[in-house]
């Protein structure tokens, strides 16, 4: 049974930083791309960042480029999102997401928003 458990959310002032973590279990983590999505109140869920199974390829949504960094530790079955210079518009529930396909196919699934497994989410609130 696939499980994705996020942690690290919280409340910060604009300009602050947070580091989100996602711990995965129930599948061969290092075979799969994995991503962070977010959903703000009244808005659709959107991909924030995605990383390939080996960490060599990453993608960032335009508004977070230069501020957020995605990384993974396959030895720990862990995914991270370092978020710097946070803005009020970053306020959202952040979700860890995994695809159905292994390897590169899974990366492109996530880029298209096709997600097989979601975590429960962690709330990030940024005040001005």
For residue 56, the surrounding DSSP H or E stretch is none
pLDDT tens, N- to C-terminus, the chain (128 residues)? 999 999 999 999 999 999 999 999 999 999 999 999 999 999 999 999 999 999 999 999 999 999 999 999 999 999 999 999 999 999 999 999 999 999 999 999 999 999 999 999 999 999 99
Alpha helix stretches (DSSP H) within the chain:
103-111
Query: In this predicted structure, what is the pLDDT of residue 66?
Result: 98
72 by DSSP, 3-state: which?
Answer: strand
Residue 31 · residue 103 · CB < 8 Å:
yes
CA neighbours closer than 13 Å in the CB half-sphere of residue 99:
25
Write out the two tokens for 42: 């009244």
Query: In this predicted structure, what is the pLDDT of residue 119?
Result: 98
23: Cα separation from own chain's centroid: 11
Query: In this predicted structure, what is the pLDDT of residue 27?
Result: 95
Query: In this predicted structure, what is the pLDDT of residue 17?
Result: 98
| Contacts of 61 by beta carbon, 8 Å cutoff, 6+ apart | 46, 47, 48, 49
């Amino acid at each position: 049974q696939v499980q994705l458990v996020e942690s690290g959310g919280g409340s910060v002032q604009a300009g602050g930083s947070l580091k989100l973590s996602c711990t995965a279990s129930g599948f061969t983590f290092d075979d799969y791309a994995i991503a962070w999505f977010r959903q703000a109140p009244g808005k659709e869920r959107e991909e924030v960042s995605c990383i390939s199974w080996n960490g060599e390829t990453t993608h960032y949504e335009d508004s977070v480029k230069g501020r957020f960094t995605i990384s993974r530790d396959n030895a720990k079955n862990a995914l991270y999102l370092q978020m710097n210079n946070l803005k009020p518009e970053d306020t959202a529930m952040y979700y860890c997401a995994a695809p159905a396909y292994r390897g590169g196919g899974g990366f492109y699934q996530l880029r298209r928003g096709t997600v097989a497994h979601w975590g429960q989410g962690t709330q990030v609130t940024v005040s001005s």
